[in-house]
Copies of this chain bind each other. A is one copy, B any other.
Amino acid sequence: MPCPVARSLERVGEWWSILILRDASLGLTRFDQFQRSLDISPNMLTRRLNALVDADLLERRRYSIRPPRDEYILTEKGRDFWPVLCSLLAWGNKHFAPEGPSVVIINRKTGQQPDPVVIDRHTGQLLTPSDFQAAAGPAADKATQGRHSYPSQ
């Protein structure tokens, strides 16, 4: 699938994968840390970690020879997933946290909570769906072009 959203999802389009990236962004690196955080079966965790390593989002590093133990560090691509996590977090807090947020983003220095919004880096303009839309790009195939020929909702 050529769509960049679909391509992203091919790498992380699984519940567990996104939560593992979330945990890695929080500083978790070791199998048992992920397992405790996620309450996930060892088999499933192994599979998801392997897939994230194969997708070059996590890097495996051996930190103990005996017993053999690996840790998992975010690659550059994996760290670049952070804005997606911020957007998901903001959306979740806005709509699905009636009891108040259980996770927030804070400024490391000031502790203040930002209001995460997506803008155009060049102009500073908010990327609202009324001002912006997705469009077929130079590498679009026929299916992609067709999908972008509807009047937007």
Contacts and interface: CB of A to CB of B under 8 A. Distances in A.
A13 B9 contact: no
Interface in A66-91: 73-74, 77, 79-91
Contact of A92 (B5, B103, B131): B5
Contact-residue bracket for chain A: 35 or more
A62 interface: no
B83 A118 contact: yes
A53 interface: no
The A interface is mostly helix, strand or loop, or mixed, namely mixed
A11 interface: yes
Given A8-B96, A99-B139, A147-B37, A114 B109 contact: no
B13 A135 contact: no
B96 A91 contact: no
Contacts of A87: 83-84, 86-87, 118
30 contacts: A4-B88, A4-B92, A4-B97, A7-B96, A8-B88, A13-B14, A14-B15, A25-B153, A26-B133, A26-B152, A33-B150, A37-B147, A80-B91, A82-B129, A83-B90, A83-B117, A83-B118, A86-B127, A100-B138, A101-B139, A103-B148, A104-B135, A105-B132, A106-B133, A108-B130, A112-B122, A114-B122, A114-B132, A117-B120, A119-B119
